[in-house]
């Protein structure tokens, strides 16, 4: 039984999330990796699957749902594969449903668990977990950090020789808005700020530098996004991003249920808040009740040393 | 320009989530327009105001009529008509079945643009939009933060890791909207009154077969054993203890 893993490349490497997905898939059958892009062949070979099919083509420079769906479906059909797995990245969440529609399979997005015991995915922003036990063919996207990554090793490599259709979509460029910053959903540490910061200037003065010092992504509560202090791309919670880092730092965030839904899957949670009754402390592994304007600079300078 | 806006009715965010016999007890749910879909309505109306055309709200739901008032609010924003597909035993967690029903309805509407929210705040699959596009044989762009229309060509900005993918496409096209793609207006009283006279059609549709994966069992996530407050003489003392714990217990730094 073969299982397909759609891998993604970032620069000269396979994305960490793709290696995690490869590790999940290894328990499901013979794994065939697919990597699509332009000039990605060397990096693609690092995907930890026993066989790797590389579609390296001018026409695949940017992610395109129509082209990528067609390539994945062709490889699925040639290999009689019964599952397709990918990371729940902006590409995976976009591609997975379209591949499922093309193959006529079910789709489970953003899975927290996937294996022979079944599949678990979050509903209602993680406030409910839904488990299913299907044995049918299915397309899955797997959430970052749900599983450890497989060791990097190379399998046999083949070049994709099928058709690449036209799509009608033309990507002109990728605008680097967050150059040098770490993506929230991929970060192993997230430092988030909320209304306790009192002003947008304090977000820039306290949250961003602490995040930079810790190699972390900077997040935010809905309250300060709605107030226009930071853009929506920073928002963690029910109408923002769901994050599952190794460490989540909630600073000046009271912990509304909509926020908790987006971060309570984190491995360790630290809360810093002046209000000892704030609900965030109920989910925090470690809490500090105190003045964040005193605590954050201390924390930052000690971590830098 | 003929625009179809996909609107999903989802449980109110304040709904109590209680598990009974492995299922979410949905009996007390009140439904509202999915917040992401409101951005789609607003964007569609702005295109119509600039270029002319028609905006049709398309929704698939059960026979429960309690949602009609909320849907009418979308017409107060400026949509011209609403079509609600009524299905016995409708469920929001069947993206493939729902995409089949919706795409069948759209086929007869000659849409230039189909637009909806990036995801429903109930099941978060982000699946129905791309599936509909595939079934219609047209391209889609998901998670769009900005959409412009110039000389019949759309330019979309799509959020990707670390940046924005800029994509151009002619119609027909399906787009799903990220939060804050545009600012949703508060309708004037006059528009609210007018919306009551706009066409609002309910059509019965039959359930369809699909390969959607059924949920076997729901549970609440395990409660976190949190609540440990770090005590100390001073802020510095607390910070030292926190760093120690992060190093030795959490092993994250």
- In the predicted model, is pLDDT for residue A151 greater than 80? no
Distance from CA of A49 to the nearest CA of B (A): 24
ipTM above 0.90, yes or no: yes
B interface mutation test: which of A72, A134, A298, A302 has the most B CBs within 10 A? A298
Omega before B172 within 30 of 0, i.e. cis = yes
Query: A61-72, pLDDT tens digit by residue?
Result: 999 999 999 999
B 83-142 residues with CB below 8 A of A?
A: 93, 95-96, 99, 121-131, 133-135, 138-142
Counting residues of chain B whose pLDDT is more than 90, the rounded percentage is 86
Q: What is the pLDDT of residue B251?
A: 81
* CA end-to-end distance (rounded Å), chain B: 55
Mean pLDDT, rounded, for B196-222: 95
Q: What is the pLDDT of residue A195?
A: 96
Residue B165 backbone dihedrals phi, psi, to 5 degrees: -85, 125
Q: What is the pLDDT of residue A197?
A: 96
* Domains, chain A, ordered by start: 2-159 (3.40.50.620), 184-304 (3.40.50.1220)
CA angle (A283 as vertex; A280, A287 as ends), nearest 5: 65
B 7-66 residues with CB below 8 A of A?
A: 11, 13, 17, 19, 24, 35-36
Q: Do B126 and A282 touch (CB under 8 A)?
A: no
Whether B5 has its CB under 8 Å from any CB of chain A: the answer is no
Q: What is the pLDDT of residue A180?
A: 53
pLDDT band with cut points at 50, 70 and 90 for residue A178:
low
Sheet with B153-160, strands from edge to edge, namely A169-175, B163-170, B153-160, B140-150, B173-177, B113-117, B2-6, B54-61, B81-86, B200-204
| Coil, helix or strand at residue A17 | helix
Which residues of chain A neighbour B178 with C-beta distances below 8 Å?
A: 232
Give the Cα separation of A31 and B57 in Å (integer).
43
Tokens encoding B14: 């304040």
Q: What is the pLDDT of residue A145?
A: 81
Counting residues of chain A whose pLDDT is more than 90, the rounded percentage is 80
Q: What is the pLDDT of residue A20?
A: 94
The domain spans of chain B are 2-204, 223-253
Q: How many CB contacts within 8 angstroms connect chain A with chain B?
A: 260
Which is more confidently placed, B53 or A258? B53
* CA end-to-end distance (rounded Å), chain A: 52
Which residues of chain A neighbour B142 with C-beta distances below 8 Å?
A: 65, 93-94
Mean pLDDT, rounded, for A197-205: 96
Which residues of chain A neighbour B229 with C-beta distances below 8 Å?
A: 276, 281, 287-289
Q: Do B134 and A69 touch (CB under 8 A)?
A: yes
Mean pLDDT, rounded, for B59-68: 94
Query: B34-44, pLDDT tens digit by residue?
Result: 999 999 999 99
Beta bridge partners of B169: A169, B154
DSSP secondary structure, chain B, as one string: -EEEEE--EEE-TT----EETTEE--TT--EEE-HHHHHHHHHHHHHHHHH--EEEEEEEE-S-GGGHHHHHHHHHHT--EEEEEE-TT--TT-HHHHHHHHHHHHHTT--SEEEEES--TTT----HHHHHHHHHT--EEEEEEEEEEETTEEEEEEEETTEEEEEEEESSEEEEEPTTSSPPPPPPHHHHHHHTTS-EEEEE-------PPPP-EEEPPPPP----BPP-SSHHHHHHHHHHHIIIII---
Q: Which residue has the tokens 């190699």?
A: A215
- A259 to chain B: closest CA residue: B13
Distance from CA of A285 to the nearest CA of B (A): 5
| Coil, helix or strand at residue A86 | strand
pLDDT band with cut points at 50, 70 and 90 for residue A240:
confident
Q: Which of A62, A189, A287 sits opposite B165 (nearest CB)?
A: A62
Query: How do the residues of chain A divide into helix, strand and coil, expressed in percent and rounded to 5?
Result: 35, 30, 35
CA angle (A300 as vertex; A278, A286 as ends), nearest 5: 35
Q: Assign a CATH topology to domain B2-204.
A: Rossmann fold (3.40.50)
Query: B82-132, pLDDT tens digit by residue?
Result: 999 999 999 999 999 999 999 999 999 999 999 999 999 999 999 999 999
Give the Cα separation of B6 and B2 in Å (integer).
13
Strand A83-87 and strand A51-56: the pairing is unpaired
């Amino acid at each position: 039984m073969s299982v397909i893993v759609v891998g993604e490349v970032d620069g000269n490497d396979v994305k960490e999330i793709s290696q995690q997905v490869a590790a999940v898939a290894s328990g499901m059958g013979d794994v065939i990796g697919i990597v699509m892009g332009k000039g990605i062949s060397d990096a693609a070979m690092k995907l930890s699957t026993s066989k790797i099919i590389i579609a390296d083509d001018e026409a695949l420079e940017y992610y395109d749902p129509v082209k990528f769906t067609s390539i994945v479906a062709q490889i699925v059909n040639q290999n009689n594969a019964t599952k397709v797995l990918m990371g729940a990245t902006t590409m995976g969440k976009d591609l997975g449903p379209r591949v499922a529609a093309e193959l006529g399979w079910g789709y489970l997005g953003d899975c927290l668990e996937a294996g022979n015991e079944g599949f678990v995915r979050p509903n209602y922003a993680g406030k409910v977990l839904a488990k299913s036990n299907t044995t049918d063919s299915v397309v899955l996207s797997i959430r970052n950090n749900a599983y450890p990554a497989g060791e990097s090793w190379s399998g046999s490599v083949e070049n994709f020789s099928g058709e690449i259709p036209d799509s009608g979509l033309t990507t002109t460029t990728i605008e680097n808005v967050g150059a040098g910053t770490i993506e929230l959903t991929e970060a192993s540490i997230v430092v988030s700020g909320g209304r306790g910061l009192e002003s947008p200037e304090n977000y820039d003065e306290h949250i961003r530098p602490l995040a930079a010092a810790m190699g972390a992504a900077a997040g935010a509560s809905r309250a300060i996004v709605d107030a226009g202090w930071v853009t929506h791309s920073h928002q963690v919670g029910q109408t923002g991003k769901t994050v599952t880092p190794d460490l989540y730092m909630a600073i000046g965030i009271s912990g509304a249920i909509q926020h908790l839904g987006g971060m309570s899957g984190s491995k360790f949670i630290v809360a810093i808040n002046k209000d000892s009754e704030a609900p965030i402390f109920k989910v925090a592994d470690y809490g500090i009740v105190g003045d964040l304007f005193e605590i954050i600079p201390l924390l930052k300078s000690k971590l830098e040393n | 320009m003929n625009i179809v806006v996909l609107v999903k009715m989802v449980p109110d965010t304040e709904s109590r989530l209680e598990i009974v016999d492995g299922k979410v007890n949905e009996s007390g749910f009140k439904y509202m327009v999915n917040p992401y879909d409101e951005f789609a309505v607003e964007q569609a109306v702005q295109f119509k105001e600039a270029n002319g055309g028609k905006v049709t709200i398309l929704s698939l739901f059960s026979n429960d009529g309690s949602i009609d008032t909320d849907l009418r609010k979308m017409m107060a924003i400026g949509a011209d008509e609403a079509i609600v597909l009524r299905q016995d035993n409708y469920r929001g967690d069947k993206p493939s079945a729902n995409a089949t029903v919706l795409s069948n309805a759209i086929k007869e509407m000659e849409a230039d643009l189909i637009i909806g929210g990036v995801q429903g705040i109930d099941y978060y699959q982000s699946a129905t939009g791309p599936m509909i596009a595939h079934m219609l044989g047209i391209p889609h762009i998901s998670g769009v933060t900005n959409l412009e229309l110039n000389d019949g060509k759309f330019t979309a900005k799509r959020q990707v890791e670390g940046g924005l993918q800029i994509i151009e496409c002619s119609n027909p096209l399906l787009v799903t909207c990220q939060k804050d793609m545009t600012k949703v207006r508060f309708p004037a009283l006059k528009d609210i009154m007018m919306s009551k006279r706009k066409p609002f059609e309910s059509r019965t549709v039959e359930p369809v077969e699909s390969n959607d994966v059924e949920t076997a069992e729901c549970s609440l996530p395990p409660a976190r054993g949190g609540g440990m407050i770090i005590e100390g003489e001073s802020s510095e003392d607390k910070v030292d203890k926190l760093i120690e714990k992060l190093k030795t217990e959490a092993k994250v730094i």
